[in-house]
Chain A
Amino acid sequence: MQHNVNWLQALLVLSLSVTLGWTVEVQRPRGVPLTKRQFYDEAKPFTCLDGSRTIPFDRVNDDYCDCKDGSDEPGTAACPNGSFHCTNAGYRPTFIPSSRINDGICDCCDGTDEYNSGASCQNTCKELGRKEREALQKLAEITKEGFLLKQQLIEEAKKGQQEKQSRLSELQDSRKGHEDKVEALRTVKETAEQPEKEAKERHLKAWEEHKAALRLEKEKAKMAEVFLELDDNADGFVDVSELQTHQELDPDGDGTLTDTEAQGLLGGAHKVDSTEFMNMWSNMKEKYVSEVCPPTPSSDLDKDPDSVYPEDDLDEDAAGEDDEDDDDDDDRDDDDDKVISPLQVLEKLSVCERERWCLLCNAALLPFSFRALEKEISFDFGPSSEFAYLYSQCYELTTNEYIYRLCPFNRVSQKPKYGGSETSLGSWGSWSGPEDNKYSVMKYEHGMGCWQGPNRSTTVKLTCGKETAVVSTSEPSRCEYLMEFTTPAVCLEPPNIDTQVHDEF
């Protein structure tokens, strides 16, 4: 009968612990940790560790559970609540539930849990120990370097903070003056738009017609403007050479607008008059860049809620651009939210050459950049602002199907690798690590909704690393995403590293 396996042999196990080349023999019943050895004295009756009962010592490890706490069967699976101690010399000692003794699966790296199951377990403790030491060493190195980087980040953040503060006060000062000017402009604009508004209020249909008419008018006006702009020699014709001043119209994107290409844009003619040009315009208008400052500021004014009528925003310029944000280039992608850094504002402004930078632009954008700056300063960038460097940055990870994008303190998104629209996986919510480690987890919430499910959200786990990078993404639960993100900013000061794995002795 297999259960009757020489329990005496089973009882006394020779535990080998190799430390510093010494061999130590410690006799104790199977499955008992050294710390509890004194309770198992074979010369005396055994008292269950909970004190509930005393039994003859030969009932210890006899494969029948006598103690409610399982303490009489540390080396067998007889008690439902028992635990078995693996010495695991060379690695870490551990306890496993009694139910894993002789279940045919090697649980202890020293294989001692499978002494009567037929499973042949290799002793893998040394190998595991070596690997663990290596891993710890590597981790220690990363932590060390990461922590140095963190110190720099903190320094930079301090400087940055000061700069921002002073910039903020500057802006505050100039804000008032600009506001007055903007107010004046707004009045002018509103007066100009008064008929439009009245039309709207009269009737939607009429308004739609009016809108179409307006659009056509605007289109015509714009085209006329362009025609004049292009017709450098003012001969009432736009010709190939005149068109060639606008290299951005190059249809094949090789950077040169050749004679043939230009002629193609003009419908095969060498030159066209304004009427003919009207037919050609549609081929060009997507690409055409005006030589004058684009009317960005007035667009911003158009966004004034007062001028918005039934849902759709008419003005093709700014509003149109806004709607198409998803298709825009990366560097424009960042500015579709209210959160916009002053730097980005400046970048945007550089589209318009500095000398053409008009008052209007400035006036309109100023409050905007002011708010953004104010917001940035108000963020919780960690105890020493070590996370400030992540602000306004974005990090991507490409998987088999998707490109994931994390813009810390802003948003998380997912975009199919091979075309398709971007999905928001959440906007910045809060730091949400455990109380003692708040800055280890970021939460992004209120992403796009799921069918029969919640709005998408993302948890970002921060781990110490030299690089700042998204290292993995997953969706552990439907529409709840998990990102792992490495950054030096969470690297802790390395302790005086003793890489020795703790051995039981």
Chain B
Amino acid sequence: MSCLLAVWLAVVLSGIQAVDRSNFKTCIQSSFCKRMRDVVPGHSPYRALLETLELSNTRLTLQLINDNNKVRLLLELYRLQGNMTRLKINELKPLRPRFEVPDVLIADPPTEPLSLVSQDEGGVVLSLGADARHLVVSARPFRLDIVEGPHVLLSVNSRGLLAFEHQRPRKDTLSKISSTVGSMWDTIKNIFSSSSENDSEEVEAEEDAEDQNYEKEEDQADMWEETFKSHTDSKPNGPTAISMDFSLPGVEHVYGIPEHAENLRLKTTDGHDPYRLYNLDVFQYELYNPMALYGSVPVLLSHSTQRTMGIFWLNAAETWVDISSKAAENTDSVQAPSKVAQTDVRWISESGIIDVFIMLGPKPTDVFAQYASLTGTQSFPPLFALGYHQCRWNYKDQEDVRSVDQGFDDHDIPYDFIWLDIEHADGKRYFTWDPAHFSQPREMLQGLVDKRRKMVAIVDPHIKVDSGYRVHKEIRSKNLYVKNKDGGDYEGWCWPGTSGYPDFTNPEMRSWWASMFAYDQYEGSMENLYIWNDMNEPSVFNGPEVTMHKDALHGSWEHRDIHNLYGLYVQMATADGLIQRSGGVERPFVLARAFFAGSQRYGAVWTGDNAAEWSHLKISIPMCLSLGLVGISFCGADVGGFFKSPSSELLVRWYQTGAYQPFFRAHAHLDTPRREPWLFGPENTALIREAVRQRYALLPYWYLLFYKAHGTGQPVMRPLWVEYPEDVTTFTIDDEYLLGRDLLVHPVTDEGSKEVTVYLPGTGGVWYDAFTFQRHEGGQNLYVPVTMSSIPVFQRGGSIIPRKNRIRRSSSCMEKDPYTLYVALSPQGTAEGELYIDDGHTFNYEQKKQFVHRRFIFADSTLSSSNISPDSQFSTASWVERVLILGAHKPSSVTLKTSGGSVASLEFDFDEATSVLTVHKPGVNAGADWTLLFQW
């Protein structure tokens, strides 16, 4: 649910339908963003002090000096395994330590030796290994270039926008600590006196300017306190912002930095606000603008026909990203200078350090693997989590749950999960049940167990301040709440009224939280109860920008430092809890609204409180594509739209779209009319049923894609350019997408559509309509007439996709059902695909290698199934029911050979009109080796 503020804004805003922008800051209203953005390009005061260079086996360190104020920074450079470079910049001698983001990287990234190639007074050249790849450090002004042969791949500070607000004593307290500062200056002086004569002279001159510099910097407004609307941020540490620019020669297309309600391809931000990354609960968000939303992943991908790269800016504070593009002189080759495109990116964060990972690709798959090696991969969800989820704010009571559950059976629509929003808890005290409406939760959950279905209950991170509420009492007594700036427990308003916010950055808090999901702690919970963490931005109704005050304290760190990380920790602790309650056996399922880099490891996310409008249906595609690019594959949008009420046409189209997006959940606001799938007349019920059934038929493919996403970091839902990186046409497409490599989906997202134009990529290849099996050439725009029942989906020629065509009440009911293989032949008459099977819900696949992973290859008139992972073991009851060969011709015979050596002739049908060959009932076990021989 989670409309934020529905109740309280209702009073204030009644009638207002879109976001109230004035509740959220623009760059100018965020003083550090304004200060950083005011830095003028081309005048970098930073200089590398090459004499401070130290090169060890794993890293290079080098001091940088700001010639305006003489403050020194420490630069660290690492060459990381897998074609990545890490660059860190911190103050050389900070007054206080600056925050470095923990718990996002899965490990210290393994390094490779950097070697010095050459050095002179202008800079140094370091080798980045093969391919004549070098890292060039220029001294004056400081600048980094990563080059490959004659090509510059990426430059850092080439526009001179590096800025690092060093910590300083507050002006009005300057005299009190002047001795400390004085000694610091002495230190600085000493450093300089040890350097060259020239530099010493400069120091003399600059010393006089030092006081003046402080004066000058003090003059800037809002450095030590700033006020937005009625909220004052006390900023006791003063200005701490950082900024850095990156130039990408030859790049016209950049992607990523979710979450924004924006096209897949990012726009330039010249002349308006930068893209903002600051996890916020935005009421009725607007589309196509750079405003911050619920989650943040500070990863930007660049792509050209030549190369795909990524920039991962590891910082959890409020962050803004400027993108501009310009034509640049092509100076990187011996050819005559020519104009080529260049994209410039500038990152600005309010605090912390500069810690950047440059992922050098060169292919999209390489960037995904590189990023996955840093932050981990998508958690492998239980199979049933890939089924259909039925949610609403709120299913009112047990009887309501029972009757909705029954409704699905009565209308023969499969589903796996029914969800309970905030009203299920006793006065929004999470981990409890409303005694009037959910008095027998176990009975209710058992009712779902009996149908082999599950439930999700919401557990939000704000805790009602109520001395009679155990969760509150314990967190308070353990002193684990976030503190306000004065050291008391931070309190804010949220659903339950006055609430405390557990300090999830504290491992002790997370561990206690996880323990709360034990069956004996979370009373009424059962094995089939899973969890939803909403409002984990965190949402604070009466806080600045509806979130927590930046000067609130998490231990010694300010909320300012950790803000974008809070939501990740909530989901992490909850997922840990679900694993622990099963003794480490069961895979968890946790949905969260706020997220950060690394959140993919803990579960699913959704695009928050959208609206029942066609434009919101349309934008669900780029929003989830953007998340997939930065590791978060398990993404979905509320089917039907959260706010407002969809027309039956919109609802049907949304089901058809959602069925082909990773996280498939319908949801609705408390105040909207009911919209269970059968409430829109028999025709629409049938259309929705069909869409959901298609989802269930393709669950084996979805499961395989998630298994691979978990193993390799490749996104489940992909922009076309990921698979066709040299086809420029695909670079801006975001109304269609690929699932894995083999399914292309172009959902109908316009009202009253009579046709869609589908771009089928891959010149020389073919695509087959997934339902009519009609064959189409690749590399064309295909005009597809549509009716209300149409979902334009195409299977790539050359692929083999397993489906389960016996659709049952839930995915669990389909466990033992047989597979039908859809073999779509390439023009060369070949095809290849995979099948993954395990128990669907435990870690045994990982811990005990209990799974089946098969490769199907069709070549030379033979279809064979072989074991990809010979050291795995799993026995499945599923078998191969049928094989469809698309784009075939009529054989004279089809023979099955099994591993036991038996040979049998199989029946088949051939449909001349569609060129589809259907082989009946091979009957072989899905985990076995077998071969089908075709005689033509």
Contacts and interface: CB of A to CB of B under 8 A. Distances in A.
Given A77-B817, A97-B412, A3 B805 contact: no
B450 A1 contact: no
B891 to A, nearest CB: 19
Interface string B73-117: 000000000000000000000000000000000000000000000
Interface string A100-112: 1011110000000
B674 A451 contact: no
A114 to B, nearest CB: 11
Interface stretch (A320-328, A390-398, A474-482): A474-482
Given A104-B452, A105-B809, A478-B672, A4 B923 contact: yes
Contacts of B412: 97, 99
B673 A3 contact: no
A80 B450 CA distance: 23
A1 B925 contact: yes
Contacts of A480: 673
Interface in A10-42: none
Given A103-B808, A105-B451, A477 B923 contact: no
Contacts of B673: 453-454, 477-478, 480
Contacts of B450: 105
A103 B881 contact: no
A242 B882 CA distance: 103
Nearest to B879: A3
Interface in B857-896: 877, 879, 881-882
A480 B806 CA distance: 38
Contacts of B808: 77, 99-100, 103
Contacts of A453: 671-673
B219 to A, nearest CB: 48
A4 B879 CA distance: 10
B177 interface: no
A78 interface: yes
Interface in A258-282: none
B10 A451 contact: yes
Contacts of B399: 474
B450 to A, nearest CB: 7
Q: Counting chain B CB atoms within 10 Å of each CB, which of A77, A103, A451, A479 scores highest?
A: A103
Interface in A43-96: 62, 64, 77-78, 80
Contact of B436 (A1, A4, A400, A450): A400
B923 A80 contact: no
A256 B923 CA distance: 94
A13 B535 CA distance: 56
Q: Counting chain A CB atoms within 10 Å of each CB, which of B644, B669, B809 scores highest?
A: B809
Nearest to B412: A97
A160 B816 CA distance: 69
A187 interface: no
B405 to A, nearest CB: 12
Contacts of B812: 104
A2 interface: yes
A437 interface: no
Interface in A443-471: 450-454
A331 interface: no
Contacts of B396: 474-475
B648 to A, nearest CB: 15
B670 interface: yes
B384 to A, nearest CB: 13
A99 B14 contact: no
Contact of B921 (A2, A64, A474, A476): A64
B809 A3 contact: no
B920 interface: yes
B671 A80 contact: no
A452 to B, nearest CB: 5
A353 interface: no
Given A478-B671, A478-B673, A105 B452 contact: yes
Nearest to A64: B921
Nearest to A76: B806
Given A104-B813, A105-B452, A478-B671, A80 B877 contact: no
Contacts of A2: 816, 877, 879
Contacts of B436: 400-401
A78 B396 CA distance: 37
Nearest to B436: A400
Interface in B799-828: 805-809, 812-814, 816-818
Contacts of B674: 476-478
B822 to A, nearest CB: 16
Contacts of B644: 452
B771 to A, nearest CB: 14
B816 A478 contact: no
A172 to B, nearest CB: 47
Contacts of A451: 10, 14, 671
Nearest to A77: B806
A160 to B, nearest CB: 39
A2 B879 CA distance: 9
Interface string B675-716: 000000000000000000000000000000000000000000
Contact of A64 (B10, B671, B877, B881): B881
Contacts of B670: 478
A1 B879 contact: yes
Contacts of B643: 452
A103 B818 contact: no
A99 B806 contact: yes
A80 B809 contact: no
Contacts of A62: 921
Nearest to B920: A64
Interface in A87-141: 97, 99-100, 102-105, 117
B424 to A, nearest CB: 15
Nearest to A477: B674
Interface string A464-505: 000000000011111110000000000000000000000000
Contacts of B818: 3
Interface string A265-302: 00000000000000000000000000000000000000
A103 B877 CA distance: 13
B527 to A, nearest CB: 16
A80 B814 CA distance: 13
Contact of A105 (B10, B807, B813): B813
A457 B880 CA distance: 54
A100 B882 CA distance: 21
Nearest to A4: B923
Q: Counting chain A CB atoms within 10 Å of each CB, which of B10, B451, B671, B807 scores highest?
A: B671
Contacts of B921: 62, 64
Interface string A385-407: 00000000000000011000000
B451 A80 contact: no
Contacts of B923: 1, 3-4
Interface in B603-653: 643-644
Nearest to A107: B409
Contacts of B807: 80, 99
Q: Counting chain A CB atoms within 10 Å of each CB, which of B644, B808, B882, B923 scores highest?
A: B808
A32 B318 CA distance: 67
22 contacts: A1-B879, A3-B818, A62-B921, A64-B882, A100-B809, A103-B814, A104-B452, A105-B450, A105-B809, A117-B816, A401-B436, A450-B671, A451-B10, A451-B14, A451-B671, A452-B10, A452-B644, A453-B672, A474-B396, A478-B671, A478-B673, A480-B673
Given A105-B809, A452-B671, A479-B671, 5 more contacts: A3-B818, A64-B881, A103-B452, A104-B813, A474-B399
10 smallest CB-CB distances across A and B, nearest first, come from A103-B813, A477-B674, A400-B436, A64-B921, A453-B671, A452-B671, A99-B808, A477-B673, A2-B877, A103-B808
Interface of A: 1-4, 62, 64, 77-78, 80, 97, 99-100, 102-105, 117, 400-401, 450-454, 474-480
Interface of B: 10, 14, 396, 399, 412, 436, 450-452, 643-644, 669-674, 805-809, 812-814, 816-818, 877, 879, 881-882, 920-921, 923, 925
